[in-house]
A and B are shown apart, each in its own frame.
Chain A
Amino acid sequence: MGKILMKGNEAIGEAAIRAGCTNYFAYPITPQSEVAEYLARRLPEVGGVFLQGESEVAVSYMIFGASACGERVFTTSSSPGISLMSEGISYIAAAQCPAVFVNIMRGGPGLGGILPSQGDYFQATKGGGHGDYRLLVLAPASVQEAAEMVMQAFSLAEKYRNPVMILGDGLIGQMMEPVAFPEHLATPPVNKDDWATNGMANRGSQRPNLVKTLYLDPEQLNAHNLTLRAKYQRMRQEEVRFEPYNTEVDYQVLIVSFGTMSRVCRTAIDNLKAQGREVAMIRPQTLFPYPEAAVREAAAKASCRVVLSVEMNMGQMVEDVERSVRGQRPVEWFGKCGGEVPTPEEVMEAVRGLLAR
């Protein structure tokens, strides 16, 4: 399986096709419009559906309608676009429909900027829309990982009948890296006849299917929320993924960082090691469910004096790090946003500053 040098946005589009999803609805927004441009050419080649909607709001409901009638479907957007899709995402989660949303984050809030950021961590993991729902959130740190996570997202969405979000950033979308699309990650769609509105006659049934989210009876709505909650508990048990780095040594600082930011930290850790300073890292690959145990255990190491959350935002994941560490160690944040990407030297400086205290 040869590797192709591909732009992240295009690899994300190709990955969906390779995973067996050939239905894409989207709206242009920098820094991820190339996904739509790529698929506008590519999907007709595979007999797929490509449609540019009139707004991200509309797109999220095109996704909902297509998913609710039993078809695999996905969309990509960026921060402000995801805000507009958040109501639709809440509906899709409530209706228990599988769908894949890719957020190639840009600087915020408001119109913000078009350069990479990680400012939508809360939005993705704490629910950007209304009500008690969660998204399975995967955070790639490379074009290869983004392609693989997109490919896995469809079966995960079907396993949980829940939207799955790929949380990348402008770097992942815009940079070119060699990428391959492992066939084993492509899984056939599951049968959805017991709930999808795919036509009674088509499934030989006399019982109409109904995809809805209105529950005027409070007992029913409470019971419905418990059903959703059980799925999120199951995600917590079965879907946590993280990557440890340099954790086998006696390190004095534990960094927690995700996405492309973690790659900068990796370089900083290597440089510090060369200077005789040991720093380790836990890289969450799933942001929900969050790898709390892994962060807690790594922080509990005797040699570890402080935990540092390094993010391209003003400190969001740091709250989950604090929650995981439970006061065993002081937890600090370092980061920049607006499109500024901290350099390895800046990360090293932050680490030294902590240890000097």
Chain B
Amino acid sequence: MAKGKTFKRPEALRDCPTHYCPGCTHGVIHRLVAEVIDELGVRGRTVGIAPVGCAVLAYNYFNCDFQEAAHGRAPAMATGIKRVRPDLMVFTYQGDGDLASIGMGEIVHAANRGEKFTTIFVNNAIYGMTGGQMAPTTMPGQRTSTSPFGRDAAQVGMPIRVAELLASLQTPAYIARQTVIKPKYIARARKAIHKAFSYQLANRCFSLVEIVSTCPTNWGMTPLDAVEWTEKTLLAYYPPGEIKTPEAAEER
């Protein structure tokens, strides 16, 4: 009996090409979310909320109800849905410009209210859709189209660690950070996403998984160089791990 595994597209992901650039790990994250939706059997009552950014077109790639938010406002839309229809499973899928720049107010207050939806926060340290501008998570010295000489912390401050920022709130929540740049990390990211959705399914708490992701095109790197730079530079500043769980919060 030959040993081996099957592998196929999850049902919650449509069988169509995506617009993402070659090597962009948005595609991996989409698949993991879809796999978790399938596993939990909730596709029929899931509503995803797309951001403004590269992932706005996520609504073409998922096989469940979707809404498209204004830039940064997905957590408010998710709040609106969960409050009037708590039976629906809701997730927002947001980039770093969307969540940590214009949408910072919304994500902080949704997390602090303990809204019971799940946020997939894709941190690739740059604005992708608009062509590579500096994001709140852009690294010191990292060149972008609006930090052409490298991000200068003396001028625009240090990159924001969103997971830790949100974890500092007193309301119980599940907050983790992972990455998807290599299979071993992908397995952990999948587990974190599964846990996040499970907390929502149990109506337990707000959940957010920050996923450090690549942007080969706007970083000006090949997909493989982008993986190495992420591992060497981004993960050093954005350490993966389980930052906060509702159990830990409640023990205090």
Contact = CB atoms under 8 A, between A and B. Distances in A.
**Do chains A and B make direct contact within the complex (CB under 8 angstroms)?**
yes
- Central interface residue in A25, A62, A201, A213, by most chain B CB within 10 Å: A62
B65 A199 contact: yes
Interface stretch (B2-10, B80-88, B212-220, B237-245): B80-88
B76 interface: yes
B83 A62 contact: yes
Contact of A51 (B44, B79, B85): B79
A20 to B, nearest CB: 13
Interface in A225-263: none
Nearest to A64: B77
A65 B44 contact: no
A73 B105 contact: no
Contact of B73 (A25, A67, A68, A88): A88
Which secondary structure dominates chain A's binding surface? mixed
B88 A199 contact: yes
A66 interface: yes
A109 to B, nearest CB: 24
B101 interface: no
Interface in B15-71: 43-47, 49-50, 56, 59, 62-70
B43 A200 contact: yes
B45 A201 contact: yes
A65 B88 contact: no
A210 interface: yes
Nearest to B86: A49
Nearest to B92: A65
Contact of B78 (A57, A65, A208, A213): A65
Contact of B85 (A25, A69, A210): A69
Contacts of B63: 208
Contacts of B105: 54-55, 57-58
Contacts of B45: 199-202
B162 to A, nearest CB: 17
A210 B44 contact: no
Interface string A23-41: 1010000000000000000
Interface string A172-201: 000000000000000000000000011111
Contacts of B80: 25, 61-67, 69, 73
5 contacts: A53-B109, A54-B106, A64-B77, A88-B73, A212-B66
| Shortest Cβ-Cβ A-B pairs, 4 listed | A201-B44, A65-B80, A65-B77, A61-B76
Given A61-B106, A62-B83, 16 more contacts: A25-B83, A57-B73, A62-B79, A65-B49, A65-B79, A66-B83, A69-B47, A69-B65, A69-B67, A69-B80, A69-B84, A69-B88, A199-B46, A200-B65, A208-B64, A214-B56
